[in-house]
A = this chain, B = another copy of it.
C-alpha cells in the first residue's frame, strides 16, 4: 500500500512511464461535487511535458478519462478512477539503461529492492507517475472549494540555483505565476531563470532550485497531532515527489538563528479573529493551522539524467560509463509547480475530511 496517500481522501496511483497507462483511484471523495474531465485536464496540462521551451520536448497530450465515480456531472461518493494512456513510447532510447545504472537515479535501488524494474523511461520512478497525483488533486481542489470557498493554494519557483525571486506570498496571483513559462512569482527574474535553464540544457547539464508554496484562506483547526501534524503531512507529501531534498515551513532553517523573543508570533485581534503580527510559524502552530497563510519551501535537486558521460556500474556489477539519452527536463521546477500545489491540496483535503469527522458538532 505504498502507492497510497491519505486517510480519508485516499488516492492510489498506478502506472509506469511505459505500459498501458498511468492513473489514480480516489476512494473517499464526498458525493455531489461537480466534476468533469475538463476540471482535471487544466491541471494536467500545466504538468505535461512539451508545454514550453523550458520543459522536455517530449510531447504528450496526457488526455484523461474518468472511468467511474461520477454520474450526470457529479461525484457519486464511490471510487473515482482516472486513466491517462501512455502514447509517446520510445523504449529504444532506454535500452542502454536496461544494463547500466544512471547515477543518482532510481535504477540501482529499484533493482536492489525488487529484483526487477521496468527500465523503459524510468518505469515506476518516472515523473509520469505524478499524473495520477495531479488529477486526484484537481478533485481535492474542488472538494476544498466546496467547503472552504476562500481557500487558495499557489506555488511558484522561488529560485533556480542562486537566482532568487522576490515574492510576497500574501499577494502573489496565479495569473502572475502563469504569465511566464518558468512559473516564478517574480516576473522580473523570469527571463534570467529561463536563460539559465536554456544555457544549462545546451551544455547537456541540469539545474535545480526551490519552489515556494502558500495556502491562503485556510481556517484554523486543520492538522491532527501528534503524528499527523499538518506540517508533518505536508513534509511527507513534498518529499514523496521525485527529486526533492528538503522541506521547510515558516522561518525554516533560517529561523534557527533567531532568539525566542525574535521568533515568536504575537497574537492580536482583528475583526473578531485571532491573528498573529508576524508569521514565522508559517501558518501552523502545534501541528494545527492557525488561520494565517501556510507557507513552505521545497528543494529540488538538479535532474539526475544528464547528456554527458559519467562513471557508473552495470547490472552485472561491472564498472562502466553512461551518457544520458532520451528527452529529459534540464530543470524540473516549472513542471513541479503544479505538483507541489497538488500535494498541498491532497494533504489539505484529507485533513479537511478528518477534521469534519472528528471535531464538528461536539460543542452542540
User: Do B1 and A10 have beta carbons less than 8 Å apart?
Assistant: yes
Task: Decide if A118 touches B353 in the complex (CB within 8 Å).
Answer: no
A56 at the interface (CB under 8 A from B): no
Contact of A267 among B31, B65, B209, B312 (CB under 8 A): B312
* Stretch touching chain B among A38-46, A72-80, A166-174, A185-193: A72-80
Is the CB of A338 closer than 8 A to any CB of chain B?
no
Q: Which of B101, B210, B264, B301 contacts A104 (CB 8 A)?
A: B264
Residues of B within 8 A of A360 (CB): 356
Most chain-B Cβ atoms within 10 A of its Cβ — which of A83, A288, A291? Answer: A288
Could you say which residues of chain B place their CB within 8 Å of the CB of A25?
Answer: 12, 14, 25
**Which B residue's beta carbon lies closest to that of A229?**
B240
A208 within 8 A of B: yes
Task: Name A1-54 residues within 8 Å CB distance of B.
Answer: 1-8, 10, 12-16, 19-23, 25, 27-28, 30-33
The verdict on A32 contacting B225 (CB below 8 Å), with A110-B286, A285-B105, A302-B259 known, is no
Q: A117-B76, A208-B255 are in contact. Are A14 and B260 (CB under 8 A)?
A: no
9 closest cross-chain pairs (CB), A and B: A106-B286, A357-B357, A2-B224, A246-B248, A206-B260, A20-B67, A109-B288, A236-B236, A260-B302
